[in-house]
Amino acid sequence: MFNLAEGTTSITTRGDSQGEKISPPRILQIIGKRYNGVKAKAKGRRMNIFVGLSLAFSFIFELNLLPSSTIAPFLSDEIREVKVAIFVDEAVTFRERWKERVSQILSQASLPLEKHARLKLVPAQWEVWKPQQKFSSFEEAAEAMEEDMPREEEVMAIGLIARRDLPSRLFGFSLYQQGMAVVRFTDNEAQTRRALEHELAHVFGAVHTVDSASVMDLWNRGQTLDALNLAIIQHSRERGFNRFRFPLPKEKREVILSLYQEIARLIKRAENELGAKGLATLKEAPNSPEDVYLNMALLALENKDYEETFKAAEEALRLNPDSLEALNLMGIARRRQGALDEAIDLYQRILQKKPDYARVLYNLGIALSKKGDLQGSLEAYQKALAIRPRLVEALSNQADVLLRLGREDEAEELLVRALSLNPRFPLGLANLAEVYFRKGEDERALETVTMALAYDPELAEAHNMKGKILHRQGKREQAMEEFKLAMTIDPSHAKAAHNLGNCYLELNQLQEAKEYFQQAVTISPGLAEAHEGLGTCLLLLGNIEEAINHLHQALALGLNTVAVHLNLSSAYIQKKLWPEAAEEAKKALALQPESALAWNNLGICSFQQGEIEEALAQWRQAIRCDRKSRQALSNLATLLLAREKWEEAAATYEDLLKLEPDNPVNYNNLAVAFYRLKEFKKAWDCLQKAISLGLEVHPGLMEAIKKEIRR
């Protein structure tokens, strides 16, 4: 008596930002430079679906189709006991002996599951639901009931609603992903039982079909489960009941998808036959004919096969042009393919028909934030939350946007609220870990992200987050393992790829680093940090043109950091483009006036353009900013020596040798300075040191010092 499936949501979060420095020093005679590398950001997503269904009793024709092949799994004798939380509205409790009657209906309705799939439903929790708000339909009430009533993990839910003020033709409704069946509780117990039987089958993956004997029949003609749906239920027997995770493991999805395809063929055939007879379309059947395509789209989505998702949803829309869920799935597919405007259009089309559709508002929020419209996205989440205050995914995403705007305290507040509503919300925990990480509370961050992983070991985002914390704690190897895990779970995790690139850059394994950065840029061309990493890597590999190109892209994408300007300045130095190099060094200094590296680069540019006094001043400034700036010390010392400023040259070499005690060239040059200062004994010692470190010293210099000492 109704159709309409409900919203598939997707959730985004961020991981990110590790502000580590990578500085393999390069010193070329007079020119010194250093490179800094920086950070990453990340996004992950999950989804939920609500599949709606219906019941009615009208008979059209007989179709006796036998399925061409039915794949039934081997079933052991072992019974799986599934704990069930039973939620009833207050109106149910006004009936006499209500608990007894509900128990009886449940045990009857679950008999087919017990008999054919060895599933035993065991009531483990009873609650009375007293909602605060009003609802305009049965489906809305069912969804709100699911959100309002907490239950333990791996517990299925059954809702019974007796109130009569919900205008809807529905007898029942199921939320597939959440593992919940909701039915109307009426005085007609046979009808309630039958509705529950139908909804319970949906919870285990069954879809509407064309089979006059089946309880899943489009026209509600049958009393038993058809072979195809039975096989689907049997394959789904081990399904999970965790609100935040897809219920079916990968290995089950393919066989179930092929069973859905069989049912889709039956439906197509029925459609053709009806058409040939000039009869009504399938759309007029009491149960929604597009059901099977929605489930196919959902599986394709979980398999990250977005084109298949779109096609299946399109077919659903053809069968039922009113299917908002079909549009929603199309929007999600397009959004994940990066076609953001198309996705936003699809969501707007849904909202025109149903402005209060919380999950679609929520999905719109995701698309807008991906597009960079952070304000618009915040508004969309707020609207969703005004309708569904307990939609923890919306709270978490809103926090994500606030984090991006640097509003950490507000983000923390929202996440704490989300977790008070559902302490087992893995993405919320991962995002909260990000807040702590940003506040420098690493221990707390690690604790929080570990909890997230306990609830969902396959949450790529949480692995990336954990990697970042470990990295900052100096545990690079463990961090790299986490980043790699994130990428195994989600090969399109651009930020994990970027973070791995950073780790390899630190290890000076440039080829590996380049590959990971390249991967990050390919996955997410808008990720500025990945362009920066790639540019830095290419710079170190000597591919200067390409390096400049990527560093410029990072800037164009809004990454205005000291590191980008410094590296760009170094790249221009390599290309001997002195004014450009100086310009970038100055931009770095505008952001960080105490940057020794920038002063050093600026000195190089001045020197190369013949501005010797400026160069001296700039290198001295570099050393004032950082007494341990080897490049500046080395450059300054060499220039002082060339300018015959022996005393300052000697002092500078002495400072440099404290940092580089094993560099024979420094000893050699210091020996020259001492010789000129007539400190021959010191000059001799330095020269001996240079020789012992393997330098072939100039024989003339050696002779000259020897002569002076003998004298």
Give the HSE-up count for residue 476: Cα atoms under 13 Å, Cβ half-sphere. 11
Q: Tell me the closest approach of the beta carbon of residue 53 to Zn ion, in angstroms.
A: 2
Interacting positions 621-650 with Zn ion (CB under 5 A): none
Minimum CB separation of residue 236 from Zn ion in Å reads 15
Closest to Zn ion by CB, 53 or 248: 53
Contacts of 655 by beta carbon, 8 Å cutoff, 6+ apart: 623, 627, 633
188 to 126, 195, 429, 696: CA distances (angstroms): 22, 11, 45, 103
Q: How far is the CB of 252 from Zn ion (least distance, A)?
A: 21
Q: Give the separation between CA 259 and CA 228, rounded to whole angstroms.
A: 6
Nearer to Zn ion, 207 or 460 (CB): 207
Q: List binders of Zn ion among 647-676 (CB under 5 A).
A: none
Nearer to Zn ion, 14 or 221 (CB): 221
Stretch that binds Zn ion, among 45-53, 378-386, 522-530, 556-564 (CB under 5 A): 45-53
Contact residue for Zn ion among 22, 31, 53, 292 (CB under 5 A): 53
User: Least separation, in Å, of the C-beta of 327 and Zn ion?
Assistant: 20
In the complex, the smallest distance separating the C-beta of residue 202 from Zn ion, rounded to whole angstroms, is 6
Tell me which residue has its CB nearest to Zn ion: 53
Q: Which residues contact 616 (CB under 8 A, 6 or more apart)?
A: 603, 636, 639, 640, 643
Q: Is 182 helix (H, G, I), strand (E, B) or coil?
A: strand
- # binding residues, Zn ion (CB under 5 A): 1
198 versus 468: smaller Cβ distance to Zn ion = 198
Residue 5 vs 317, nearer CB to Zn ion: 5
C-alpha to C-alpha distance for 636 and 654, rounded to whole angstroms: 12
E strand or H helix at 406, and its extent? none
- Residue 312 or 402 with smaller CB distance to Zn ion: 312
HEC secondary structure over 121-162: EEEEEEEEECCCCCCCCHHHHHHHHHHHCCCCCCEEEEEEEC
Choose one: 49-57, 256-264, 561-569, 682-690; the region binding Zn ion (CB under 5 A).
Answer: 49-57
The residue to which tokens 């410094």 are assigned: 566
Task: Work out how close the CB of 248 gets to Zn ion at its nearest, in angstroms, rounded to a whole number.
Answer: 19
Site for Zn ion in 347-386 (CB under 5 A): none
Output the six-digit token pair for 451. 């909890």
Query: Whole-number minimum distance, CB 206 to Zn ion, in Å?
Result: 8
- Which tokens sit at 121? 């439903």
Nearer to Zn ion, 38 or 216 (CB): 216
Q: Which has the closest alpha carbon to 538: 569, 555, 507, 515?
A: 515
DSSP line for 196-255: HHHHHHHHTT---B--TTBTTBTT---SB--HHHHHHHHHTTT----TTS-SS-HHHHHH
Stretch that binds Zn ion, among 52-60, 88-96, 339-347, 451-459 (CB under 5 A): 52-60
Report the nearest approach of Zn ion to the CB of residue 55 (Å). 7
Nearer of residues 207 and 330 to Zn ion, judged by Cβ: 207
Between residues 53 and 566, which has the closer beta carbon with respect to Zn ion? 53
Q: Which is nearer to Zn ion, 205 or 533 (CB)?
A: 205
Q: Which is nearer to Zn ion, 203 or 657 (CB)?
A: 203
Q: How far apart are CA 178 and CA 55, in angstroms?
A: 21
Radius of gyration of the chain (CA): 34
Query: Per-residue x/- marks for Zn ion, 1-40, CB under 5 A?
Result: ----------------------------------------
In the bound state with Zn ion, the residue whose beta carbon lies nearer, of 53 and 231, is 53
User: To the nearest whole angstrom, how small is the minimum distance from the Cβ of residue 549 to Zn ion?
Assistant: 56
Q: Are 219 and 58 in contact (CB under 8 A)?
A: yes
Q: Does residue 411 bind Zn ion (CB under 5 A)?
A: no
Minimum Å distance from CB 208 to Zn ion? Answer: 5
Between 4 and 528, whose beta carbon lies closer to Zn ion? 4
Q: How far is the CB of 176 from Zn ion (least distance, A)?
A: 11
3-state secondary structure 571-622: HHHHCCCHHHHHHHHHHHHHHCCCCHHHHHHHHHHHHHCCCHHHHHHHHHHH
Nearer to Zn ion, 53 or 555 (CB): 53
Q: Which is nearer to Zn ion, 208 or 645 (CB)?
A: 208
- How far out from the chain centre does Cα 392 lie? 17
Report in angstroms how near the CB of residue 66 gets to Zn ion at its nearest: 22
User: 182 or 641: whose CB is closer to Zn ion?
Assistant: 182
For Zn ion, the closer CB: 194 or 243: 194
Q: Least separation, in Å, of the C-beta of 419 and Zn ion?
A: 34
Nearest approach in angstroms of CB 196 to Zn ion is: 11
The stretch near Zn ion (CB under 5 A) out of 48-56, 127-135, 330-338, 516-524 is 48-56
Which among 53-61, 217-225, 245-253, 680-688 is the span making contact with Zn ion, rule CB under 5 A?
Answer: 53-61
Pairing between β-strand 80-89 and β-strand 155-161 as defined by DSSP bridges: parallel
List own/partner pairs for 328-333 with CB under 8 A and 24 or more apart: 328/7, 328/8, 328/359, 328/360, 328/363, 329/8, 329/294, 329/297, 329/298, 329/301, 331/360, 331/363, 331/367, 332/8, 332/10, 332/47, 332/301, 332/363, 333/297, 333/301, 333/306, 333/307, 333/309
Q: Contact region for Zn ion (CB under 5 A) — 50-58, 189-197, 323-331, 556-564?
A: 50-58
| HSE value, Cβ hemisphere, 13 Å, CA-based, for 4 | 17
Cβ atoms 300, 72 nearer than 8 A? no
Smallest gap from Cβ 135 to Zn ion, in A, equals 20
Per this entry, what is the length of the chain?
Answer: 711
**Identity of the residue, 216 or 520, whose beta carbon is nearer to Zn ion in the bound complex:** 216
- DSSP 3-state assignment of 36? coil
Q: Which residues of 87-102 are buried (b: 16+ CB within 10 A; e: fewer)?
A: bbbeebeeeeebeebb
Cβ-in-10-Å burial (0-12, 13-18, 19+) of 661 comes to exposed
Q: Which two tokens stand for residue 280?
A: 């009504």
> Smallest distance, Å, CB 323 to Zn ion?
14
How far apart, in whole angstroms, are the C-alpha atoms of residue 667 and residue 95? 98
> b or e along 681-693 (b: 16 or more beta carbons within 10 Å of the residue's beta carbon)?
ebbbbbbebbeee
Which among 46-54, 360-368, 536-544, 573-581 is the span making contact with Zn ion, rule CB under 5 A? 46-54
Q: How far is the CB of 160 from Zn ion (least distance, A)?
A: 17
**Quick one: which of 64, 50, 58, 52 has its CA closest to 285?**
58
Shortest Cβ distance from residue 6 to Zn ion (Å)?
13
Site pattern 156..175 for Zn ion (x: CB under 5 A)? --------------------
CB 53 within 8 Å of CB 287: yes
The 3-state DSSP class for residue 55 equals coil
Q: Note the residues at the interface with Zn ion (CB under 5 A).
A: 53
